Structure 1
Amino acid sequence: MLKLLACSGVAACTPAFSSNNTANDKRFDISLSQWSFHREILGGSKKDYSQFIRTLHSTPDDVLQGTMDTTDIVITARKLGVSHVDLVNVLFFGHAQDKKWLNAFKSKARNEGVGFNLLMCDETGKIGHETVLGRKQAIDNHLPWLECAAELGCKQLRVNAYGDGNYLEQLQRCSESLNKLADISTQYNIELLVENHGNASNNGAWLAMLMQMTAHKNVGVFTDLDNFFMGGWNLSPKRLYDRTQGLIDLAPYTKGISAKTHNFTLDGEEVSINYQHCLNLLVDEGFNGFVSAEYEGDFKTEIEGSDLTVKLLKKYQYLSKYE
């Protein structure tokens, strides 16, 4: 039986830094996902998801019904000892081109000594839409967020490879759009990443084929350690894609990692994901970028779960800590 970890607060869980660590044996950097706090930011606005989407596209600030200001993620990152944040566009959907708001956010981050690494884009259309017009609209919908990412100093933009048709048709259509988006993102010095994040992309082999077909030097994968299943989000039972095989498929293209957690054992390991195995597999293939701490569980508060996720990543961040 798994023994679950008890944690009475951030101070009790905050990991100590080893004085033996050196820059030479650091295997990856750690960032904090803004999505880890989506419940505190959005409150109950997602209970009726259809209404949430309608509100997001009409009066987007109205979905921010929680107790946490969306910009306070930089304060939280500092408290957790993390130097970079990964942002999610739906958590500030109305401010992509609001220079005054973005400047205030940048200033707040700067005051906390925190930078922005990646911006995740949702609700921007299907880049693999069945029509040329639909694909063009999806590309156009991403452009304000590319500008926003550049304004905030992000280095990467995460997009979704959503499309219509069979697997082959989606490959062709998504690849076409990714090449166009990647040419544009290159002008902003921003790397374009595709996440295994629903629909065909949760099939590791399909996403690897998409990378091969796209073959753009500015396109890579934002590999989520937990998003390996096929056929959609809500199938019951789920049709799982083997996690290890998925990581092997995506490792050559991985430029960022989403470290999703749900619950923890007594020694701080994730209950359902072998983090040492997963991180070793990707690092051994040459990955040395940012691993984004994303707590998705219901067993801890968001701050406690995020702290435990950061602690888990720090456990394997340096060679000297476990060799």
Structure 2
Amino acid sequence: MNRRNFIENSGKASIALSLLGLYACKNSKKDQGTTITTPEETAAKTENIPFFKLSLAQWSIHKMILEEGFDPFNFAEKAKGWGFEGLEYVSQLYTGELEKNPNTAAAMDNLVRELNKRSTDNDIKNLIIMVDAEGNLGIKDEAERMKAIENHHKWIDAAAALDCHSIRVNLFGEQEVDAWKRYSAESLSKLAEYAAKSNINVLVENHGGFSSNAALLAEVMKEVNMDNCGTLPDFGNFCLKRENGEPWGAPCVEEYDKYKGVKELMPFAKAVSAKSYDFDEAGNETTIDYVKILQTVKDAGYTGYVGVEYEGDRLSEEEGILATKKLLINTAKQLS
């Protein structure tokens, strides 16, 4: 072989080895899970990630549970299948299970054990217990108020055992504003003091009566002034008065401005509830401007979970839940 052929053959071999090296390096990075993306691709992916995580309020399937016989213990599996990351339990949906055992403490232990198993099996996070029907926290009668406070203790303990961050309570009681504010603040302070021992928050939702007046509820929060006492702003539930003075069910005759209300409650928010009732052909909620209200949530610097709570009648609960989830994700992309 002459020098010229030797150089040509050597050059070809070098090129081949170089190409082989590049191929090996590329495959090595691929094997290691390394993906090379452009800044533009990275920005696009970031823009598609909502500023919040999605959870599911169990009340969204209360008809399935109460009317269709759906097992409430299958909540975790169902929510996971629908693409949610967190669970918001409703205490009253487990009343039947708790009544099976006359020993209240043992019944609660069994409930917590089973819920923990189901959430662990489905790799989904427990977040909140919505506590209902445990007494009036805003009532003047001290014996009644203390009993209501005591009734909530077991749910705080359950929330801690489930590794939730909060319980949600209602503020019903006195029908005079100043009295309601006073006794509500006293009860919340006692509950928050008890809950602090377990690192649990006590949250109040705008949920009828004076609690749906966001300005008044904000005043109560300022009066309590405790780190683990806050709000759970709901996009709906701002009805102040209903026909014939009914607390629920009857048509609303006086409503608080929902956009103003959410803005007033967000400084104290440790959770958010995305209420929905119905949707138009474009997938927008027919009674709530999601762009406007979700922008308020984002502007408040909130980055926690947003819970889907569908309460409509036209769509099935599954259809309504998925429509609300889709609307939240699509709306997040439109925000500034």
TM-score by structure 2 length?
0.79
Tell me if 1:310 matches 2:312. Answer: no
Structure number with the bigger relative contact order (C-alpha 8 A, sep ≥ 6) is 1
Q: Secondary structure at the match of 2:233?
A: strand
Superposition map of 1:188-207 within 5 A: 188-207=198-217
Tell me if 1:291 matches 2:306. Answer: yes
Give the Cα separation in 2 of the matches to 1:19 and 1:102: 42
Partner of 1:252: 267
CA contact (8 A) 1:221 1:256 kept: yes
Tell me if 1:121 matches 2:131. Answer: yes
User: More displaced, 244-253 or 181-190?
Assistant: 244-253
Question: 1:169-190 CA deviation, whole Å, 9 max, x = no partner?
Answer: 0000000110110011111111
Q: Secondary structure at the match of 2:248?
A: coil
Pairwise CA distance, 1:20: 4.1
Partner of 1:219: 229
Partner of 1:141: 151
Partner of 1:90: 92
Question: 1:154-183 CA deviation, whole Å, 9 max, x = no partner?
Answer: 111100111214101000000011011001
Give the Cα separation in 1 of the matches to 2:214 and 2:72: 32
Q: 2:63 aligns with which of 20, 25, 39?
A: 39
Partner of 1:28: 52
Give the Cα separation in 1 of the matches to 2:47 and 2:193: 33
Pairwise CA distance, 1:246: 1.1
Compared CA separation, residues 144 and 27, structure 1 to 2 (3 A): same
CA contact (8 A) 1:74 1:114 kept: yes
Question: 1:175-214 CA deviation, whole Å, 9 max, x = no partner?
Answer: 0110110011111111110010011101111111111111
Q: 1:132 aligns with which of 142, 156, 159?
A: 142
Q: What CA RMSD, in Å, does the superposition of the two structures yield over aligned residues?
A: 2.1
CA contact (8 A) 1:130 1:165 kept: no
CA contact (8 A) 1:295 1:309 kept: yes
Question: 1:25-59 CA deviation, whole Å, 9 max, x = no partner?
Answer: 6411110011101011011xxxxxxxxxxxxxxxx
Structure 1 segments, 4+ long, off by >6 Å, are: none
Q: 1:266 aligns with which of 281, 296, 313?
A: 281
Partner of 1:15: none
Compared CA separation, residues 179 and 84, structure 1 to 2 (3 A): same
Give the Cα separation in 2 of the matches to 1:168 and 1:205: 13
Compared CA separation, residues 311 and 190, structure 1 to 2 (3 A): same
Give the Cα separation in 1 of the matches to 2:187 and 2:307: 26
Give the Cα separation in 2 of the matches to 1:82 and 1:294: 12
User: More displaced, 239-248 or 167-176?
Assistant: 239-248
Give the Cα separation in 1 of the matches to 2:60 and 2:161: 23
Question: 1:128-152 CA deviation, whole Å, 9 max, x = no partner?
Answer: 1111111110100001111111111
Give the Cα separation in 1 of the matches to 2:47 and 2:72: 32
Partner of 2:78: 76
- The one-letter amino acid of 1:156's match is S
Q: Secondary structure at the match of 1:194?
A: strand
TM-score by structure 1 length?
0.82
